[in-house]
Amino acid sequence: MKTPILSALAVVTTSVFVAAGAQAQDVAAGKTSFNKCLACHAIGEGAKNKVGPELNGLDGRHSGTAPDYNYSDANKNSGITWSKEQFLEYIKDPKAKIPGTKMAFAGIKNETEANNLWAYLSQFDKDGKTKQ
């Protein structure tokens, strides 16, 4: 009886370590993916608005609320609170998610890349520091 329980525990423990390792890779891959965004967006300590708003503290932030950024009415009135689910839907096709947005980006269709990008973006708090 004890062998199946120990085996199940070993599988769960191994899965946790694999998931933790995969998450670190996701953030690194997300940082690479963020290069597509750098022309318009900044993130991290000292980030400023560019053509698009700075993205610090995106997780949990209401759409259209980055300080000192001139958003489209569509974005300000979208009612979106950014979360992983909202972001993944948005980043596939920004103009489909928020018709009238001024974000001119074709989107990221690859689900793995979009998840990696979210892992990178969501690690920053509103001050641009990485969450502990």
Predicted confidence at residue 13, as pLDDT, reads: 43
pLDDT in the model for residue 5: 53
Q: Which pLDDT tens digit goes with each residue over 68-107?
A: 999 999 999 999 999 999 999 999 999 999 999 999 999 9
Residue 12 has a pLDDT of 42
What's residue 2's pLDDT?
A: 55
What pLDDT is recorded for position 3?
A: 54
How far apart, in whole angstroms, are the C-alpha atoms of residue 68 and residue 74?
17
List all residues 6 or more positions away from 18 whose beta carbon is below 8 Å from its beta carbon. none
* 3-class DSSP state of 68: coil
How far apart CA 104 and CA 34 sit, in angstroms, is 16
The amino acid that residue 77 corresponds to is N
Closest CA to 64 of 30, 105, 101: 101
Predicted model pTM: 0.80
Helix residue ranges per DSSP H, 34-100: 73-76, 84-92, 94-97
How far is residue 87's CA from residue 20's CA, in Å, rounded to a whole number? 22
